Structure 1
Amino acid sequence: MNRTTAYAANPGLALPGQPAAPAPEACAELPAPVVRDLRDRGGRSPHALLFGPRDLAVITGLPGSGKSTLMRRTVRGLRIDSQDTRDRWDRRMPRSVPYALYRPFVRLSHYAGLRRALRSGEGVVVHDCGTQAWVRAWLAREARRRGGTLHLLLLDVAPGEALAGQRERGRGVSRYAFLRHRTASTRLLRAVTDGALPGGCTSAVLLDRAAADTLRRIAFTG
């Protein structure tokens, strides 16, 4: 594994790509995974993350860690956020109808929107709660099919900060759900820190709150 560190001397950080090739060749010549740890830099970290034109990027972290805020503020191009889908449904539904009743329709709508975005062939940034490993597997397959690569952006935020973020936005998850997210996120963070990226991922970027706040742009080149 190639582990590299980026400093703020770089206004933008370009993530490694995978040359397009027929499926058998691509599987045989995958580049070594790269982990870029931007934590504990005190804000001295890149202002931009740049990906190839056919790449996909997935942002993961605890509920309340700031994934949706980061996406709204920085993504230049297609972004698919389940929170956006829920907000659209919330605006249409009567306040007397509990979210649990229409949650399945929100999820179907979200994944349908993701499928449409992937079919566009453009680079896409996707919100991932960290517990849906099958989504990352789907994205990895799609990235290979289009001749791009899959990149993981992992927000490393303490549980207390994430819970405060939920209170700030006035919407949270149950204690059981949060513990489940926390277990999955801790396992993923430990694996990535050790250089074991999820299947199909070419690179991972570890961000703490300061590094996330420093970012101004997540974009696709070309």
Structure 2
Amino acid sequence: MTVDRTTAYATIPGIAVPAQPGSPARRARSGPRAVAGARVRDLRDRAGRGPRGLTFRAGDVVVLTGLPGSGKSTLMRRAVRGARIDSQDVRDRWDGRLSRFLPYVVYRPFVRLAHYAGLRRALRARTGVVVHDCGTQTWVRAWLARAARRRGGALHLLVLDVTADTALDGQRERGRGVSRYAFLRHRRATRRLLGSVAGGAVPDGCGSVVLLDRQAADVLHRIDFAD
């Protein structure tokens, strides 16, 4: 599996993510180079010179994952053109009604059920959709991959890779965090995912993986789907 770290995309407004997998090869470490058909696009460590947009096929399902506080919801609100399903939006709606009376842990299961119900409805529409969810969980990926195939599309992962300190700062800025246990669980899962991709393995069921750091996310202003 090759991780594409080409600088060619730095001067154009967007890139199209390939629908078909490329040939396996080892991760490129010797310097920037372009690899035709690469299933991994590594847009990190480019000092903000990354693409302004990512375009997927109609019918694709895109999962945006990363540590809590890494900036996933902010990126989705700014960049997604079309359907987006953000678990944070669902929680905000429930918090507005119940947080004054109950701790979140009490109604968290209902938030998750409402989120997945909304996601199921979006998948039935058969148009491209971007999902903010724990894409590091294998059962979630398997479900979304099956749904994407039924729609004639593919599942893609966007991984927002930030340090733990950056993510914790993000939680403080938004005034809400997760428990230490939950954060460590997310951190372990994200580490496993990044280690797997770096080692040349795209998760089962995924058509491609795009790796972003905070600077790459900041310049990304369009995530859309081709007609």
TM-score of the two chains, using structure 1 as the length reference: 0.91
| % same residue | 69
- Is 1:10 aligned to 2:15, yes or no? no
- 2:90 matched to 1:88? no
User: 1:122 — aligned with what?
Assistant: 127
| Structure 1 outlier segments of 4+, above 6 Å | none
* 8 Å Cα contact 2:161-2:212 kept in structure 1: yes
Alpha-carbon distance between aligned partners in 2 of 1:55 and 1:14, rounded to the nearest angstrom: 12
Question: Cα distance, 1:130 vs. partner?
Answer: 4.4
Q: Quick one: distance in 2 between partners of 1:155 and 1:40?
A: 12
Equivalent residue for 2:114?
109
In structure 1, runs of 5+ residues without a counterpart are: 19-29
Contact 1:62/1:130, CA 8 A, preserved across alignment: no
CA distance in 2, matches of 1:152, 1:135: 12
Q: What is the CA RMSD across the aligned residues, in angstroms?
A: 1.4
Q: Distance in 1 between matches of 2:136 and 2:19?
A: 26
The DSSP-based 3-state class of the residue aligned with 1:181 is: helix
| Uncovered stretches (5+) of structure 2, i.e. residues with no partner | 24-37
* Residues 174-183 or 191-200, more deviating: 191-200
Are 1:40 and 2:42 an aligned pair? Answer: no
Q: Is the 8 A contact 2:135 2:157 kept in 1?
A: no
Report the count of equivalent residues. Answer: 211
Query: C-alpha separation between the residues in 1 aligned to 2:154 and 2:130?
Result: 12
Partner AA of 2:51 in structure 1: P
Other-structure match for 2:33:
none
Aligned position for 1:181: 186
| C-alpha contact 1:31 1:202 (8 A) present in aligned 2 | no
Q: CA deviation at 1:111?
A: 0.3
Whole-angstrom distance in 1 between the partners of 2:47 and 2:184: 28
Query: In 2, are the aligned partners of 1:43 and 1:214 still within 8 Å (CA)?
Result: yes
**Matched residue SS, 2:152:** coil
TM (norm. structure 2) is 0.89
Q: Within 1, Cα distance between the matches of 2:135 and 2:171?
A: 16
Deviation string 1:192-212 (CA, Å, 9 cap, x unpaired) is 122211111111110000000
- Closer, same or farther: CA 31–54 of 1 in aligned 2, 3 Å: farther
